[in-house]
Chains A and B, each alone.
Chain A
């Protein structure tokens, strides 16, 4: 089982990387790009036999405390 956590900057936070990449895409001729947001992807391997519900709870806690900074980032956690 794997936990996949996607961390993105909050909408209110200026994302200079996203802005720069958006400009680069436009410069290259890609049209229709309304916004680019650059975040992080974290994959966690879970030990065999781990209870999904328990892992979900623990990883939500970890994502809030360590993996993301709730002041500037949102996260989405999926276990599969």
Chain B
């Protein structure tokens, strides 16, 4: 499978994402933000970092880059897109995902390991996560507090679009386990069509035991499985 990892000025998790995909046995390449075509791509990763210096708002400028127009088209045609951290912010700014990410409620930048509960296995990004498995993955952000108005939040719930929520080690969705004040402990969501997802935590930084956890690989394994099914379906 071919992964395209976008690279904006001041992306800084792009190499990590490429490393994680390759480590797990697939091919990945960096794609500069000025490119207007995705080429041969099965899945797009919008990586973490501080694209365009987080000027104006996180992700606000990146969404207008040429590559994002191609990503939008790719997503509209059903292509799989995942935004991690700043990538999540870019996707909400671009309107590919609902809601917004605002300043952490305590105004602090949080760089720590957190626990994630998978709210549904019904998505290309969560299907392979073992039932009941609590993922231990790092976060590193100052503006990761998920916000959406009541109507949007109700839609997210009704359509089962909440994919991951912050929890304690036992899987309880407590307020203490919520690092940034996100509504409903939301750490990641998908769009209504379920082919675009975003999350604040960094699964790409937790794909090998050397890094303290390899729980993040389950998210990538889910994507690989979805792409495999897609290829098999296309071949029939």
Q: B183: shortest Cβ distance to chain A, in Å? A: 9
- A→B interface (CB under 8 Å): 9, 12-14, 16-17, 20, 66-67, 69, 71-72
Interface size class of B (residues with CB under 8 A): 20 to 34
Q: Is the CB of A66 within 8 A of B56?
A: yes
Q: Which residues of A contact B181 (CB under 8 A)?
A: 14, 16
- The interface residues of chain A lying within 8 Å CB-to-CB of B107 are 16-17, 20
Which residues in B have some Cβ–Cβ distance to A below 8 Å? 56-57, 60-61, 64, 92-93, 98-100, 102-107, 145, 147-150, 181
Chain A, residue nearest B149 (CB): A12
A66 touches B60 (CB 8 A): yes
Contact indicator A69/B106 (Cβ below 8 Å): no
Indicate if the CB atoms of A16 and B56 lie closer than 8 Å.
no
Contact at B56–A13, with CB atoms within 8 Å? no
- 5 smallest CB-CB distances across A and B, nearest first, come from A71-B100, A72-B100, A16-B105, A16-B107, A16-B103
Q: Which residue of A lies closest to B92 (CB)?
A: A71
CB-CB under 8 A from B106, the residues of chain A are: 16
Given contacts A69-B93, A71-B99, contact A16 B57 (CB under 8 A): no
